[in-house]
Structure 1
């Protein structure tokens, strides 16, 4: 089932043509959020998920600095254990709803020797079986998070990271070609992004609920651009007793080039797995360039103008800005 309301048949057709293939059976709308169809099967279990207050939740819209932040937080929580940090970050920081993203189960049944790891096949069980305290990764917006978080009965530390929408869109386009089987062009992807028709969108409905809760003691709101500008001064560093030498080591470890070359965090295994089973043919990498403002060189003047108008409209009643 493709998300379609008849308001924009062109976008519905783009979704159906370029996403509903080996990866997607279709899309659903859950509380106004575009999600893969399989999310409907898992929504109740996610909503009723038992939250542990000892855990740290890394929350974000996709491609806004999630992996970078997850690695930073995990390293700090684990006393810069670089040896243990060689383990895949998908194991060290379980991804709550990962199984909803890979909903191509009927297709993979025909694949010989399909050896998907447990954190892909049943991400909720994998998360439940991982001992606390742990890092939990999620891209779910506030309205789709577990009930205990939404009603405040459980208050784990939640670190939300975001990034300007133009750079996010460019990076998400690369991600969807590599990981989610998108076969369309960049201009069509921008149309979907602006219309809230990519997974986890609408974009601003994702950011603003966390921004409005930024003063809650268990919520830390970060901007990718600020981290790029001065990573050692970020609150995630300041709230832990790291000495100057440790800060320098961690900063070097978290440099973009080192992250890109680190197979524990660059989704090397995931990409190779998808290529092994012919589930992606895109010759790209999970981490592209990490730069701030690079989207301006990749978007047409018309698309840039649409992003500016869209941003202005969505922030007219908010004090948030990049």
Structure 2
């Protein structure tokens, strides 16, 4: 795949029909493949802007497939890099650690033309421009797969932290997220089929993960597993601090570990994205029943799939995982 340019292809087949039927809404009119990855049609308007995005050598990117521990990793990275400045961390995470992709994913033009009462902040309406004007050092979130990232990442070598999670739990979490914030209307089993068929936004899942896994030994790359954060967060904090050139005492590691605990994160308004959920609730942008019963942070655990996937589906995910990870040296203990 040519890293320097973006090639678009149409989506075809039963899974494409399912994606368009259950995932096309007010914000998304359809989907395409961009350098092999599934993206909303609206992304085509911004592909070159993303490729030409000015990357600075002191940037820090947190990269991931959706729902793999991104927010958790962002907060960890930001707090370490900013010497545990919890007062400054009261600023919403999406403002101090902007989401590069945001504007490319959701087409708000039709909505705003008919709903002048709806107000979105600058980091939502123009995430690329917002980050272009952001002072250094910048902290940048992205879900873009490797072939869609800015060209200058290769030459300017910013810090690149990638967080990965086992496919089954990722699928379950992505399903609930999609119902809560992206208007997905299909069943869980249909969503699993889309996941396994590499037909969800930002898919294919395994190529997304492995493109970064294969770069894990480059000096500006750090590969983190969600399961390791659950098992031994202090150890991951220390590894991340070393990568960022920071030294943390045992006391500070303990303080940050508590700050990053699931209960702390879920109850922290600067990171729990309840303000985003509230926008959807306030303007009735997503099904009211989904808003009422859902939350951005659900369980923060390993093995959540066991209560939701059938045995047959679990077996299919396990076979799919084994096939894709064979010979890579990457594994997930679930």
Paired residue secondary structure (1:72):
helix
Distance 2:21 2:210 in 1: 31
For residues 97-126 of structure 1, give each alpha carbon's deviation from its aligned partner in whole angstroms, at most 9, with x where no partner exists. Answer: 111121242234212311011111110001
Are 1:93 and 2:97 an aligned pair?
A: yes
Are 1:18 and 2:22 an aligned pair?
A: yes
Q: Is the 8 A contact 1:3 1:26 kept in 2?
A: no
1:196 paired residue number: 198
Alignment of 1:110-121 (within 5 A): 110-121=114-125
Distance 2:303 2:226 in 1: 11
Are 1:182 and 2:189 an aligned pair?
A: no
1:254 paired residue number: 260
Q: Is the 8 A contact 1:66 1:161 kept in 2?
A: yes
Q: How far did residue 321 of structure 1 move?
A: 1.4
Are 1:4 and 2:6 an aligned pair?
A: no
Give the TM-score taking structure 2 as reference length.
Answer: 0.92
Paired residue secondary structure (1:38):
helix
For residues 255-279 of structure 1, give each alpha carbon's deviation from its aligned partner in whole angstroms, at most 9, with x where no partner exists. Answer: 0111011110011111101111111
Are 1:229 and 2:235 an aligned pair?
A: no
Paired residue secondary structure (2:276):
helix
2:3 paired residue number: none
Distance 1:272 1:2 in 2: 35
List structure 1 segments (4+ residues) > 3 angstroms apart after TM superposition. none
Are 1:295 and 2:305 an aligned pair?
A: yes
Paired residue secondary structure (1:57):
strand
Out of 128, 137, 141, the residue aligned to residue 132 of structure 2 is: 128
Distance 1:273 1:62 in 2: 20
Please identify, of 196-205 and 243-252, the stretch whose mean Cα deviation from structure 2 is larger: 243-252
Distance 1:88 1:122 in 2: 17
Unaligned runs of 5+ in 1: none
Distance 1:221 1:25 in 2: 34
Distance 1:63 1:71, change over 3 A: same
Please identify, of 277-286 and 199-208, the stretch whose mean Cα deviation from structure 2 is larger: 277-286
Q: How far did residue 142 of structure 1 move?
A: 0.8
2:113 paired residue number: 109
Paired residue secondary structure (2:62):
strand
Out of 47, 66, 69, the residue aligned to residue 43 of structure 1 is: 47
Q: Is the 8 A contact 1:2 1:26 kept in 2?
A: no
1:265 paired residue number: 271
Give the TM-score taking structure 1 as reference length.
Answer: 0.95
Count the aligned residue pairs. 317
1:306 paired residue number: 316
Alignment of 1:45-60 (within 5 A): 45-60=49-64
Q: Is the 8 A contact 1:102 1:120 kept in 2?
A: no
Distance 2:35 2:262 in 1: 35
For residues 119-168 of structure 1, give each alpha carbon's deviation from its aligned partner in whole angstroms, at most 9, with x where no partner exists. Answer: 1111000111110102110011111111112xx21101100100000000
Distance 1:226 1:206 in 2: 19
Q: How far did residue 176 of structure 1 move?
A: 0.6
Unaligned runs of 5+ in 2: 1-7
1:62 paired residue number: 66
Please identify, of 17-26 and 262-271, the stretch whose mean Cα deviation from structure 2 is larger: 17-26
Distance 2:94 2:296 in 1: 14
Distance 1:246 1:115, change over 3 A: same
Please identify, of 102-111 and 23-32, the stretch whose mean Cα deviation from structure 2 is larger: 102-111
Distance 1:128 1:4 in 2: 32
For residues 11-52 of structure 1, give each alpha carbon's deviation from its aligned partner in whole angstroms, at most 9, with x where no partner exists. Answer: 222212211112211111100000011111111010011100
Paired residue secondary structure (1:153):
helix
Please identify, of 74-83 and 97-106, the stretch whose mean Cα deviation from structure 2 is larger: 97-106
